[in-house]
Chains A and B, each alone.
Chain A
Amino acid sequence: MDEKLLSQIPHIGEINHRGAYVKAPAKHTDTFLERYSRENKVLPSLEDAIRATGLKDGMTISFHHHFRGGDHVVNQVVDKLAEMGFHNLTLAASSLAAVHAPLIEHIKNGVITHIETSGLRGELAEQVSRGLMDCPVVFRSHGGRAAAIRSGELHIDVAFLGAPSCDPYGNANGYSREEGGTIACGSMGYARTDAEYADKVVILTNKLVGYPNAPWAIPEDNVDYIVMMEDIGDPKGIMSGATRYTKNPKELLIAQTAAQVIDAAGYFYDGFSMQMGSGGASLATARFLRDMMLERKIHCRFALGGITGQIAAMHEEGLIDRILDVQSFDLDAAHSLKLNRFHHQISATYYASFLSAAAVDQLDFVILSALEIDTDFNVNVLTGSDGVIRGAIGGHPDTAAGASLSVVVAPLTRGRIPCVIDHVNTVVTPGEVVDVVVTDQGVAVNPRRPEVAKKLRKAGIHVYTIQELRDKALALVGRPDPIRYKDRVVGVVMYRDNTIIDVIRQIEE
């Protein structure tokens, strides 16, 4: 093509182009096998990868929490960053667990100066509540985090993502279809959003497999570097064989009531959609729904969320048509993701971001747990009755807001601690999006949903006011002394739209 011809093209100024064709680059002639052993993204060490990303002091690094209590990625990477002399980094993990207590040292020595997460547990959570960090920890829901990453409010410079399988170009997944075992975490939904938006992405894998590692969670075009590591996680801590249905009679009673509430409220019909947590009563609701589905010969169009083996089993029985899986809770769920074509892996964005048409918006109902519920129906899942951080927001506000009926299940009291109270310690999910509270001692319906209360009453379910439930709790266990806090804010809690809904203060001791 002659360069001069370009000027003869009408409207050439409006057509985007990169000039006239000159010559194609030289073609490969070696075999695919030879090529990919030579040209690939695998670097010899974590240190090489860190250098290659161009990471600098003050930047933001991210991690996923699909390895949960078995995660060995965060600690190893941050140890290495400390050793290499990095300082003043923001650590943005989709969540953190008790296994991440070694971060305390790296916070004290200035390697990590800010944390963003869905939750904190264990010693790290205790220390943060006691004023470990100058800058408050930012807590976001899974949907809120995905939205913040996309909008740039949470800009990730480098994502370090553990993956149980990856090929030399970076197609990575939470399990492997290749011969020979690997650890399995099932869905890598939260990591997908990080991989898509981070400036640089490093995959840390214990199993390098042949190209192409299909199906993949993370496609190679999102990945810059790959590091082989012997140990990225402890399979036992990542997940166990199967989440068992609870045998606790109180949880079973709550679950049974929750199933009755959903039915009575009109959201249990042929073709419904649902999500339930992995907590005792929440998960057990699936068992009672299953019995009702078999009895009435109705089926569920899709189940969403963190997925357990129970949901997978109902899919395999033909009771649930589709599973949308952002996070697998047990090996049975991970196994199902690998085997069942309609058990589908989705990203955090697809799951719950308010900036996109999220799957949570298609939910008929969700069953959610709570540490505390107050008389305005606000829910706390983040701080304990002693004011110390001990939980995670997860998808709580996202699903409560998205589902047509949000059902919060909790015992009325835990030991001597009342769970229905005047004011929750920390508002995580606002009462505006919480519809029904089911306890072992009775059900309350948000006055914003009078039609639901009416339907429950018609079905013979006694509906209490939330104040009556609070009074029952206080009559049983008495009114606890208020928690003593200092003025200093140690945590900032964001609603799913990333407005600040509450703060967590340092505890007074």
Chain B
Amino acid sequence: MEKRYVKERLRRSMMFVPGNNPGMITDARIYGADSIMFDLEDSVAYTEKDTARFLVHNALKTLDFGQKEIVVRINDLSSGLGVQDLEAIIPAGVHVVRLPKTDSAQDVIDCEREIARIEAKHGIPVGATGMMAAIESSGGVLSAREIAHASDRLIGVALGAEDYVTDLRTTRADGTELLFARSMILNAARSAGIAALDTVYSDVNNEEGFLAEVSLIRKLGFDGKSVINPRQIGILHKALLPSEKDLKKAYAVMEAIAEANAKGSGVASLNGKMIDRPVVTRAQRLIALFEAYTAKEEDEEE
């Protein structure tokens, strides 16, 4: 069965799953994350790299993940492990490859070349595998725009804050330290028409802190966030829900549009105000978020 990535889809939550933990891999599907990200990089000790690669390869081939987006975070190419990771996971079938420590557009181009080579070698249509770039350094942040535009395969750019704050000679705090990086990445993503994905919040028992961070990135405009514990997923999705007032307005907007279309009128208006394109886009996005939250459990194939 061929897996092909989808460029635009809901990506509120991207759940990290250590690639060397079979229990967590088999359970990954059940927690409601929009995307599952099997990690071959930082959560896997150097001595476990082969194990993780082997496990993730077999998990991709055997397990049924339903409608989830499947992402694998590989090791960076300069480590000498990245290409081996790609050789293992691309033939097994993966939607998106997450490239860590992306400092320049060249990193993306180099990785894409390897992906294309492996796709061709295994008879997979070249271009079937998507990519996302994680930016984790000051250099990367300053090159965010070039990175976001470096490949058509990119579905989004993400911030990796832990390495980034170390590079800046600061530590994670209230978010002030990340404001510049987040803004750069967000604008880079939007200029390329792709998703902007925020970093993890590692203090899993601090729900209040997590919610504050979600509220901040939502205001900034991020699509979603990486999570390291399944318990964060429900909280995240709930926090990203539109307010009742905004939702009502969004439905009213869509109704007005439908009415105008029915009348054959090109111009719709609500409460005397003309509805322009951005208003419609925003309304559609809010409704999509709401419907995703309230959706009935997906009926599984089988």
Would you call A292 an interface residue if the criterion is a C-beta within 8 Å of the partner chain's C-beta atoms?
A: no
| A residues less than 8 Å from B31 (CB atoms) | 249, 253
Look across to chain B and name the residue whose beta carbon is closest to the beta carbon of A249: B230
Would you call B231 an interface residue if the criterion is a C-beta within 8 Å of the partner chain's C-beta atoms?
A: yes
> By the criterion of a CB under 8 Å from any partner CB, how many residues of chain A are at the interface?
14
| A residues less than 8 Å from B26 (CB atoms) | 413, 476
Given contacts A460-B296, A461-B297, A462-B299, contact A440 B231 (CB under 8 A): no
Q: Which of B30, B63, B205, B302 has the most CB of A within 10 A?
A: B30
Would you call A247 an interface residue if the criterion is a C-beta within 8 Å of the partner chain's C-beta atoms?
A: yes
> Given B30, B296, B297, B299, which contacts A250 in the complex, CB threshold below 8 Å?
B30
Would you call B301 an interface residue if the criterion is a C-beta within 8 Å of the partner chain's C-beta atoms?
A: no
A476-B296 Cα distance, complex, nearest whole Å: 24
Given contacts A249-B31, A253-B30, A462-B299, contact A415 B231 (CB under 8 A): no
Compute the total of residue contacts between A and B using a CB distance below 8 Å. Answer: 28
Interface residue ranges of A434-458 to B (CB < 8 Å): 440-441
Would you call B110 an interface residue if the criterion is a C-beta within 8 Å of the partner chain's C-beta atoms?
A: no
Would you call A252 an interface residue if the criterion is a C-beta within 8 Å of the partner chain's C-beta atoms?
A: yes
Interface residue ranges of B250-267 to A (CB < 8 Å): none
| A residues less than 8 Å from B203 (CB atoms) | none
Interface string of B257-296 (1 = CB under 8 A from A): 0000000000000000000000000000000000000001
A495-B276 Cα distance, complex, nearest whole Å: 70
Min C-beta distance of B238 to chain A, whole Å:
12
Would you call B80 an interface residue if the criterion is a C-beta within 8 Å of the partner chain's C-beta atoms?
A: no
| A residues less than 8 Å from B230 (CB atoms) | 249-250, 253
Min C-beta distance of A190 to chain B, whole Å:
36
Given contacts A440-B30, A441-B30, A461-B297, contact A249 B23 (CB under 8 A): no
A413-B30 Cα distance, complex, nearest whole Å: 13
Look across to chain A and name the residue whose beta carbon is closest to the beta carbon of B298: A462
Look across to chain A and name the residue whose beta carbon is closest to the beta carbon of B232: A249
| A residues less than 8 Å from B205 (CB atoms) | 247
| A residues less than 8 Å from B63 (CB atoms) | 476
| A residues less than 8 Å from B229 (CB atoms) | 249
Look across to chain B and name the residue whose beta carbon is closest to the beta carbon of A254: B30
A468-B229 Cα distance, complex, nearest whole Å: 28
> Given B23, B297, B302, which contacts A415 in the complex, CB threshold below 8 Å?
B23
Interface string of B219-246 (1 = CB under 8 A from A): 0000000000111000000000000000
Beta-carbon contact of A250 and B27 below 8 Å: yes
Look across to chain B and name the residue whose beta carbon is closest to the beta carbon of A247: B231
| A residues less than 8 Å from B302 (CB atoms) | 468
Interface residue ranges of B30-66 to A (CB < 8 Å): 30-31, 63
Min C-beta distance of A369 to chain B, whole Å:
18
Min C-beta distance of B28 to chain A, whole Å:
11
Min C-beta distance of B300 to chain A, whole Å:
8
Beta-carbon contact of B30 and A462 below 8 Å: no
A250-B29 Cα distance, complex, nearest whole Å: 11
Look across to chain B and name the residue whose beta carbon is closest to the beta carbon of A411: B27
Min C-beta distance of A123 to chain B, whole Å:
28
A481-B98 Cα distance, complex, nearest whole Å: 40
Interface string of A220-254 (1 = CB under 8 A from B): 00000000000000000000000000010110110
| B residues less than 8 Å from A460 (CB atoms) | 296-297
Interchain residue pairs with CB less than 8 A apart (12): A250-B27, A250-B30, A252-B231, A253-B31, A253-B230, A413-B26, A461-B297, A462-B296, A462-B299, A462-B300, A468-B302, A476-B26
**Which chain B residues have a beta carbon within 8 Å of chain A's beta carbons?**
23, 26-27, 30-31, 63, 205, 229-231, 296-297, 299-300, 302
Besides the contacts A247-B205, A441-B30, A462-B300, what 6 more A-B pairs have beta carbons closer than 8 Å? A249-B230, A250-B27, A250-B230, A440-B27, A460-B296, A462-B296
Closest A-B pairs by Cβ, 5 of them: A249-B230, A460-B296, A462-B297, A249-B231, A440-B30
